[in-house]
Amino acid sequence: MSQKEQPNYYAIIPATVRYDTNLKYAEKLLYGEITALANKYGYCYAQNKYFADLYNVTAVSVSRWISHLQELGYIETKIIRNENKEIVSRNIYIADIPYYQKNQYPYIQRD
């Protein structure tokens, strides 16, 4: 995802994420950013560098935040590899659907 390409979607941070005392504030914000980016394809494909530049932190910090969100069951990641087993991309899916609203989340839940 390029620096100039900024999504024009709403971020969704459900109460389960907002009030989870195990999460840092930055992790909650990152979760919201992932929901906004997942709006287009049903998953977020942004790299850690994109988030690091966006929030002015290191890619290592972003990696820790993503790992923690995954550990707590809020997101799932899928690594896409080519025939040489090299990583081509990483897709991040929202895993936490705490309740259904009249207008469901704008992203597609992964089966």
- Run of H or E residues at 26: helix 25-38
Amino acid making up residue 19: Y
Q: How far is CA 28 from the centre of its chain?
A: 10
> Per CATH, the architecture of 15-94 is what?
Orthogonal Bundle (1.10)
Amino acid making up residue 93: Y
- Six-digit token pair at 83? 């025939």
Q: How do the pLDDT tens digits run along the chain, 111 residues long?
A: 555 556 567 888 999 999 999 999 999 999 999 999 998 888 999 999 999 999 999 999 999 999 999 999 999 999 999 999 888 899 999 996 654 444 455 555 566
Q: With contact defined as beta carbons under 8 Å apart, do 47 and 72 qualify?
A: no
Q: Where are the domains of the chain?
A: 15-94
